[in-house]
Amino acid sequence: MASWKNGANTTHEYFIYIDLPFFHCYYVRNEQAYVLYIGLNFQDLMARQGAIDSPPKTPFIMGSECAGDIEQVGEGVENFKVGDRVVALPDHKAWAELVAVPATSVFALPAGMSYLDAAAITMNYTVAYILLFELANLTPGKNLLLHSAGGGVGQAVVQLAKTVKDVTIFGVCSKSKHEALKATGTIDHILERGADYSNEVRKISPEGVDIVLDCLCGEECNKGYALLKPMGKYILYGSSNVVTGETKSFFSAARSWWQVDKVSPIKLFDENKTLSGLNLRHLMYQHGSHAFVRRAVERVFALWNEGKIKPVVDSTWALEDVPEAMQKMHDRKNIGKIVLDPSLEPKPKPATPAKGKTKDKKAASQESQEKKASSVESEEGEKKKEPELTNGTSEDKSDSDSKEKESS
């Protein structure tokens, strides 16, 4: 069977090659410009810090979500053809002009869906859909506690949960996001992150909640489990508490692990509670559940077609401004999805003098000061005709002054 080979002579079968702009904002075909988008996810932030399991060896291309047109198909690919509009969820490598993605991780876009919407909706809403309808079994009348309610997945959960009647949402987020989220009117009760939100939930719902969706880990696991009603479900789908600084912190990881109570299956049996987890990257690339994920993506796209969901985009950034975009996500300041738009011009950076020039200026300034000091000393020496003074300068000067007073 024939197969395509890249410059490194490695064989790629059943792959699809999607044209994505990186340094150029678009590519031209038939005099039409197709502008493409890339989704920024918290997984990218953790990959940058090396906080994910089995990270690829550096250097590597980051990015786990991209939308574009198929440029080439590998041998054996039957469901796609060159020119198809698609979105892909590669295991890294998305930030590039061309990305090779297994056909199992590529999804055709519905008619009318823009590349921007595709990059903003696919990963976040797929995760949210699996959380609510495959794991939590959300049904009318239930209530749920949602951490990071203002983030990309958080906003997806809110929209999808509201497609079910009489669902009550307790959303936990930073205080700075409360005003903006209240304006949307989609979250029933907004609680402050870091405060005693458990007590606030109990005031409104004394029995607790049916579902807890936690992307933080650490001590939040214990609080969430304690809030569950009988037959309640706690689902962990992230560990963002591990990311506390600018680099990987083994202390943060260890603390998050130690803060979590170890729950015995017997305790779950006695209390009629369920613990569950979701890692979409593992589900696709370690467990091979591609058909399951594809069904979830297709259901999400169907809900979009029906007008029941609409992706919330916080901001778009040029690829050159990725550090600022990732910093915004790191600081938990985004409401909705952050998207990279290669067609945007980067923000102007403040001009800073080159290190070499700075050193030259400092050296020249220092040399000038030394010359000035030496000239002053020589002038004083000529006037006073005194020998060079040592560390006892101040004492010698006071003695001279006293002698002058005595003679007068």
The predicted structure's pLDDT at residue 224: 92
Q: Which residue, chain included where needed, has tokens 């990725």?
A: 322
Chain-centroid distance, C-alpha 109 = 24
Tell me what percent of the residues of the chain surpass a pLDDT of 70.
Answer: 70
Coil/strand/helix, residue 214: strand
* 346 CB neighbour count, 10 Å cutoff: 12
The predicted structure's pLDDT at residue 160: 98
Q: How confident is the model at residue 142 (pLDDT cuts 50, 70, 90)?
A: very high
Chain-centroid distance, C-alpha 387 = 69
Q: Are 189 and 170 in contact (CB under 8 A)?
A: yes
Q: How confident is the model at residue 18 (pLDDT cuts 50, 70, 90)?
A: low
The answer, yes or no, to whether residue 390 has pLDDT greater than 50, is no
DSSP annotation of 387 reads P
How far is it, in rounded angstroms, from Cα 321 to Cα 192?
A: 30
Coil/strand/helix, residue 37: strand
List of domains in the chain: 123-290 (3.40.50.720)
Q: How confident is the model at residue 397 (pLDDT cuts 50, 70, 90)?
A: very low
The tokens for 324 are 């600022």
Handedness of CA 123, 127, 129, 130 (dihedral sign): positive
Q: How confident is the model at residue 79 (pLDDT cuts 50, 70, 90)?
A: confident
Q: Are 190 and 149 in contact (CB under 8 A)?
A: yes
* Span 281-323, pLDDT tens digits: 999 999 999 999 999 999 999 999 999 999 999 999 888 888 8
Phi first, then psi, for residue 332 (nearest 5°) are 55, 45
Between 328 and 358, name the one with better pLDDT.
328
Between 309 and 246, name the one with better pLDDT.
309
The answer, yes or no, to whether residue 222 has pLDDT greater than 70, is yes
Listed in sequence order, the residues at least 6 apart from 213 whose beta carbon sits closer than 8 Å to its beta carbon are 131, 136, 144, 145, 146, 147, 157, 235, 237
Which pTM does this prediction carry?
0.75
Handedness of CA 311, 118, 335, 275 (dihedral sign): positive
Q: How confident is the model at residue 179 (pLDDT cuts 50, 70, 90)?
A: very high
The answer, yes or no, to whether residue 272 has pLDDT greater than 80, is yes
Which amino acid, residue 155?
Q
Between 206 and 238, name the one with better pLDDT.
206
Q: Are 151 and 332 in contact (CB under 8 A)?
A: yes
How far is it, in rounded angstroms, from Cα 92 to Cα 126?
A: 18
Q: Are 113 and 86 in contact (CB under 8 A)?
A: no
* Span 52-70, pLDDT tens digits: 666 777 777 788 899 999 8
Do you know the residue count of the chain? 408
- Crossing angle, helix 115-129 and helix 152-161, to 10 degrees? 70
The predicted structure's pLDDT at residue 193: 87
The predicted structure's pLDDT at residue 154: 94
Coil/strand/helix, residue 228: strand
Phi first, then psi, for residue 139 (nearest 5°) are -135, 165
Highest mean predicted confidence (pLDDT) among 36-40, 263-267, 368-372, 389-393 = 263-267
Coil/strand/helix, residue 280: helix
DSSP annotation of 201 reads H
Q: How confident is the model at residue 72 (pLDDT cuts 50, 70, 90)?
A: confident
CA-to-CA separations, 42 to 231, 267, 275, 330, in angstroms, rounded: 30, 32, 23, 8
Highest mean predicted confidence (pLDDT) among 106-120, 309-323, 355-369 = 106-120
Burial of 107 (0-12, 13-18, 19+ CB in 10 A): buried
